[in-house]
Amino acid sequence: MVIPTGFDPGSYPCVRSLSRRGVRTIVASEHENVMAAASRFCDESVVIPPPDDDLLAYRDALLGLAARPSVRTIVPVRPRDQYLFARYRESFENYVSVVTPPLETLNVAIDRVRLIEAAEQAGVPVPDTRRLGEVDDWSGKQIVKARYNLLADEYLDGYSERDSDVVKELEHLAPGEWPDREELHDEMLHEPIVQEFVESTDEYVFCASYDRGDALATFQHRQVRGDSYTGGGGVYRETVDIPELDAVGRQLLDHLDWHGPACIEYMRGADTGEFVLTEINPRMWQSLACAVHSGADFPYYYWLQATDRADEIEPKYDVGTGSHLLYGEIGHLLSIYQENSPLVDRPSLPGRALEIATSCYAVPQFDTLRLDDPMPFLSGVQRVLSGDR
């Protein structure tokens, strides 16, 4: 199996999981110091062109690997992977089996305006969402973020097939704060969206593997800490099993007639208790290691589905399993010092450091810190300390 990666945390659990199952792995990246390639469980690493520079060159490099007789599939880890698999499905399926939704379905997940519309049709709670140019009332708590998970010529004029960008910027706006529309447009490279800020008790994730509208396996966790003190991808999470979360997760994916892996983020409303949709990632996700630790082996599920053995998937996981992305915890502490939000109270740096140390002692289970394989963790620490998060 080919595992494309930049500095994606989800690539390392793929390598470990599949190696344990006897599946040979090839890590493909433009960087030489990625965590998955540093692992002793990685069978081979290859250098490929960066997708940021030329998306078609990146695609062609993946196709070159797919053409190897020993390669059976490519797992989607990076934001561009499923887009390429869906858009150029015939080219990839000349060589390998890829588990991807049709491009029209994927486009709904990538376009947050269409995703909100689809979620409303499915009966899933959503935040009020509008395009930046449609907003003239700035009296409430609001956030500004990219409309598209991925910028490409499928969605935006001015992009060629070779162009793409991933926009992760998020702006918190205090009530009454008028943003600079032109500046936001330039920062996010397109017209972003404005969403109401959801006052929440916790953030949750619902993950699944689907086969043409039918769930093969599902998984849930509560995010205790994120990349930043304001949120972001989970760096410490604990597995849960909440029927209401399962219901809204399935409702959305059933409505989309989903196919392949998906990770959906929800906020639990402080006033209503409802699970409010944040976004969907149509690929392997940052907190994948937590799922694998608990018994939900999604990399292996993907392998089984891609090799026509989906009937062998035995969906299960243990509730109460915790896992730390330890270098991500370091990044979380740095965010307290470096970032500011008018909507989220900044925690005490010593207090949060003590909280992290206590939870690491109580739950000594980590995404990449492994005594039998130390190099991926050291690679991650080096990257965070260098400021490349």
Whole-number Cα distances in Å, 199 to 205, 228, 273, 275, 276: 17, 17, 10, 11, 10
Residue 29's SS3 state is strand
Asked if residue 336 belongs to a domain, the reply is yes
Region of 289 (left: φ > 0; alpha: ψ -120 to 50; beta: rest) is alpha
Cα–Cα nearest to 27, from 68, 77, 70: 77
The CB density around residue 348, as the number of other CB atoms within 10 Å, is: 11
Statement to judge: residues 264 and 242 lie in one domain: yes
Query: Domain residues for 268?
Result: 200-385
Statement to judge: residues 179 and 212 lie in one domain: no
Edge to edge, what strands does the sheet with 142-145 contain?
129-131, 193-196, 142-145, 170-173
Statement to judge: residues 95 and 161 lie in one domain: no
251, 215 in Cβ contact below 8 A? no
Statement to judge: residues 276 and 147 lie in one domain: no
In whole angstroms, give the CA distance from residue 78 to residue 244. Answer: 29
Asked if residue 45 belongs to a domain, the reply is yes
Residue 6's SS3 state is coil
Structural domain count, the chain: 3
Statement to judge: residues 344 and 258 lie in one domain: yes
Per-residue pLDDT of the chain (389 residues; tens, 9 = 90+): 999 999 889 999 999 999 999 999 999 999 988 899 999 999 999 999 999 999 999 999 999 999 999 999 999 999 999 999 999 999 999 999 999 999 999 999 999 999 999 999 999 999 999 999 999 999 999 999 999 989 999 999 999 999 999 999 899 999 999 999 999 999 999 999 999 999 998 999 999 999 999 999 999 999 999 999 998 889 999 999 999 999 999 999 999 999 999 999 999 999 999 999 999 999 999 999 999 999 999 999 999 999 999 999 999 999 999 999 988 898 899 999 999 999 999 999 999 999 999 999 999 999 988 889 988 888 777 776 665 54
Statement to judge: residues 48 and 96 lie in one domain: yes
Statement to judge: residues 190 and 207 lie in one domain: no
Residue 74 one-letter amino acid: I
Asked if residue 146 belongs to a domain, the reply is yes
Q: In CATH, what number is assigned to the domain containing residue 258?
A: 3.30.470.20
E strands, the chain, in order: 2-4, 26-29, 44-47, 129-131, 142-145, 151-152, 164-165, 170-173, 193-196, 200-211, 214-228, 231-239, 260-269, 275-281, 322-324
CA-based radius of gyration for the chain: 20
Asked if residue 161 belongs to a domain, the reply is yes
User: CB-based burial of residue 52 (10 Å sphere; 0-12 exposed, 13-18 middle, 19+ buried)?
Assistant: middle
